Structure 1
């Protein structure tokens, strides 16, 4: 029997709080889960710094990746013997679903911004490079690793396969909304996934939803909208992200200035130098990062030491509403006042902005154009979701942005009460 067709002697299951069980029968999938590269995802949190706000948000990319795999497995089981579905692409879909987040680094997006990295690029490198994952994929077929990488990169020729993992209603979103809601303890991310899976149908270039399932999709769209503003963009979480980012910036600046660290940060040196290879990347996970932060709490440099203490001990920055388009004169004055007070504004005065577009329809030629969700009518006609749903139409194409100004209130309050600088800073911040 060919490796790609090989089944385990008995089905393996992972007990899962969201899907109850994750079922694995394919030898290829089981072997991929056992690779060091996939096991590393146990040491990367799904929600980065959100655990500082929601104490239950300790779940990992490993949990989420298994969940996305399970949803795709169930979808394609429902597609069996339906028109437009090619059973030969079943294993490709499952492998891409399992591996889609393989390249995420510690604290994901915050880490990427500082070092100008792209987790999707590292996902591709892990799949195509000298790794355990690549060795298994090549056992299926010499071209199989490239196919998996193309699906994740959204360049695979069969757009139906791509849409299962990357679209406006895909397995990735359906898992993380429910999983993140479960572990944060909020109710916003819940929707009737069972109903959506039952009414999904394969078309030539995308998955569509039967019109009778429209209300379940509306609920899904609104769940996503609420989760972004109530969980993902929570201002306290963003405060922790701001401090995390500043720690990494400070450590990099010190390294470039040949600062003598108490412990040589050799896990970071290639990142500081901008010359990161795959093996360096795979060695760095959140356990390692937090170890350095714990060590850096005792560094001689006061800024690095203070920021690490704030992050590790959860002594975060405070925040106020701030519109950079209308309050730049205030920002510039605050910058000068912080300098005068001996508080480095480059590390202690930060504007952070978050924005989200909950749903959009097809706008040809526009940057970031996205394939819409289509409803399948009983007569076989396709209708774009926002044309049928008043609820979805009301938020379609509407990008919401939020700005906050973050600062260390304790350092400001520690200034002399006689200080005019302190008084003016507080006037600007609190009115």
Structure 2
């Protein structure tokens, strides 16, 4: 029997709080789950610093990756199977791409990427194609199979239908993380009728479409996504933790470049500081290692690194004020000057952070990012773009919402044992209440 079609002697199941069970029957999928690169995802939180805001948000990229796999398995095995537009030869490719789509996430994901100018999608593809256990398993299904999986994740595959299952405006990735993140944060926003959506999905040559009768379930999904971004993903406390996290990494990198003598040498970060990151270096780093350094750096001689690490580890986060960069740039310059006077480096202690989200959009010629629209299949077989039929979706379509906040250490600014007059000026500019 060919490895690609080999089944386990007995089905394996993972108990899952979102999908009840994750079912594994394919030998290839089971072997991929057992690789060290995939097991590493147990040590990468799905929501980065969000656990400092919503204490239940301790779930991992491992949980999520299994969930995306399970949704795609259900679509391919239960919804699309037997339909003339669906080729069963796409099944294993879809399952592998779903399982491995987040393989390249680093510790604290997007915050980490910004500091070191990295791209998790690049590392996902590099792990799939490189000298790794994942690559060895995939090659057993065919020498060109790792390349096929990589092309789906890179969105360069000719198989647009499979790409749309993994990456589109209504894909298995989003359907899992919205429900999973809502479950673990304890909020109600991310829940929608996934069962209904799966029932009305239909394969076409180049993408998944939705039966018109399921339009209201799609509307609910889009509004759930909108609420999750602003109530959970962009929560100002989570953003404060991300600001401190990124500033710790920036400070450590700056000190390294200044040849500062660390008490605990950041050996795991050397290649990141130098911009010479290999796949081997990358997969060795996870959140447990990063937090170990943060714990130890609380005893460093450098006061900024020490203070920021203490703040992160003890959750003594920065406070925030609403901020409009276009209108308040003079105020920011004045605050920076006053911060320097009281001994606070504004590079690390006065930080503007911006968040932006586009809930739904359709393809607009000339734009940098081509967004695959959600298409409805009408009763007569015609295809109509979702916002043309739904007034709810039309109301949010193409409307980007952006939010700016200014973060600062309120505890230092309220301490009048030093520079009381200047700190009073700062508090007035930031409209900080005099009450503790």
TM range (shorter): over 0.9
3-state SS of paired residue (2:399): coil
3-state SS of paired residue (1:87): coil
Does the aligned pair in 2 maintain the 1:416–1:422 contact within 8 Å?
no
3-state SS of paired residue (1:246): helix
Shift of 1:390: 0.8
1:329-344 aligned at under 5 Å gives the runs 329-344=330-345
Q: Against the structure 1 CA distance between its residues 418 and 285, is the aligned structure 2 distance closer, same or farther, given a 3 Å change threshold? A: closer
1:109-148 aligned at under 5 Å gives the runs 109-148=110-149
Q: Describe the superposition over 1:284-330 as per-residue Cα deviations: whole angstroms up to 9, x where unpaired.
A: 00000000000001111100000000001100000000000100000
1:71: which partner in 2?
A: 71
Does the aligned pair in 1 maintain the 2:342–2:419 contact within 8 Å?
no
2:389: which partner in 1?
A: 388
For the aligned residue pairs, the C-alpha RMSD in angstroms reads 0.8
Q: Which whole-Å CA distance do the structure 1 matches of 2:409 and 2:366 have between them?
A: 44
Shift of 1:417: 7.5
1:251: which partner in 2?
A: 252
1:82-93 aligned at under 5 Å gives the runs 82-93=83-94
Q: Which whole-Å CA distance do the structure 2 matches of 1:418 and 1:254 have between them?
A: 28
Does the aligned pair in 2 maintain the 1:103–1:119 contact within 8 Å?
yes
3-state SS of paired residue (1:343): coil
- Where structure 1 has 5 or more consecutive residues not aligned to the other structure, the ranges are none
Does the aligned pair in 1 maintain the 2:416–2:423 contact within 8 Å?
yes
Q: Describe the superposition over 1:183-207 as per-residue Cα deviations: whole angstroms up to 9, x where unpaired.
A: 0000000000000000000011000
Q: Which whole-Å CA distance do the structure 1 matches of 2:24 and 2:423 have between them?
A: 61
1:11-26 aligned at under 5 Å gives the runs 11-26=11-26
Q: Which whole-Å CA distance do the structure 2 matches of 1:109 and 1:89 have between them?
A: 31
Q: Which whole-Å CA distance do the structure 2 matches of 1:277 and 1:170 have between them?
A: 30
Q: Which moved more, 1:17-26 or 1:259-268?
A: 259-268
Does the aligned pair in 1 maintain the 2:362–2:371 contact within 8 Å?
yes
Q: Which whole-Å CA distance do the structure 1 matches of 2:322 and 2:140 have between them?
A: 55
Shift of 1:365: 2.1
Does the aligned pair in 2 maintain the 1:128–1:145 contact within 8 Å?
yes
Q: 4+ residue stretches of structure 1 with deviation over 6 A? A: none
1:12-411 aligned at under 5 Å gives the runs 12-77=12-77, 78-411=79-412
Q: Which whole-Å CA distance do the structure 2 matches of 1:243 and 1:150 have between them?
A: 36
- Where structure 2 has 5 or more consecutive residues not aligned to the other structure, the ranges are none
2:9: which partner in 1?
A: 9
Q: Describe the superposition over 1:313-361 as per-residue Cα deviations: whole angstroms up to 9, x where unpaired.
A: 1000000000001000000000000001111111000000000000001
Q: Which whole-Å CA distance do the structure 1 matches of 2:336 and 2:121 have between them?
A: 36
Q: Which whole-Å CA distance do the structure 1 matches of 2:76 and 2:363 have between them?
A: 26
3-state SS of paired residue (1:353): strand
3-state SS of paired residue (1:268): helix
Q: Describe the superposition over 1:29-72 as per-residue Cα deviations: whole angstroms up to 9, x where unpaired.
A: 00000000000000000000000000000000000000000000
3-state SS of paired residue (1:368): coil
Does the aligned pair in 1 maintain the 2:375–2:384 contact within 8 Å?
yes
Shift of 1:84: 1.4
1:427: which partner in 2?
A: 428
Shift of 1:420: 2.4
